[in-house]
Every structure is written in structure tokens, then in C-alpha cells.
Amino acid sequence: MHTNIVFGFTSFDLTDVNRHLFDENISEEIIVLQGDAEHSHYYGIFNLMYDAYERMTLGLELDYGAKKLNANGYLNDIFIDDVKGRDTMRISFGFMFYF
């Protein structure tokens, strides 16, 4: 039996963002963003592998991650101060046979 553990973290901070977004499908649609944005993300992976035979491995893996987006500023002259986030989990099973 053998195992792996992985952890990761990412963070992006944008200060005084000023963007003009145009929608190709609607010629009059212009979205103006002004303000600060912070995006963070972390995840962890744990897997367990079992070498059942000399050339065959069975494995089970658990993945978990979460992200958060914090924005404050103006969106088309409307002030927003919002935090959104979510998490997710996945369980995977694998089978490897070596020729």
C-alpha cells in the first residue's frame, strides 16, 4: 500500500480595478467595474493505492476544495459589497494494469 497527500492554496488580490466589458451579442451592453476584488482558493487531495498483484494497482482518492470571492466597488454605478464562496468534494476510484 502507498499513499499521497497534497495541499494547495492560491490568492489573488486586485486593488482599484477599472474594467469596461462589452457583450458581443448585445451592442448597447457595456458593464463598468470599479473597485477591489479578492479571490482565494484552497484544496486538499488524499489517495490510497493498493498493489493487489505485481502488475495491478487499485486506488481510491478523495479531493476537497473551497473558493471565496470578495468584491466591493461599483458595478454600472451601483455599489456592491459581496462575498461568495462554495466548496466541493469528489471521490474517485482507479484501476491500473501494467503490461
pLDDT score recorded for residue 23? 66
The total number of structural domains in the chain stands at: 1
Segment 42-92, tens digit of pLDDT:
999 999 999 999 899 999 999 999 999 988 888 878 888 889 999 999 999
Segment 26-46, tens digit of pLDDT:
656 666 678 888 999 999 999
pLDDT score recorded for residue 5? 97
C-alpha cell at 58: 487499485
Q: Which domain holds residue 49?
A: 2-97
Distance, in Å, from the CA atom of 44 to the CA atom of 40, rounded to the nearest integer, reads 14
Question: Quick one: which of 11, 12, 9, 93 has its CA closest to 44?
Answer: 9
pLDDT score recorded for residue 27? 59
Evaluate if pTM is beyond 0.85: no
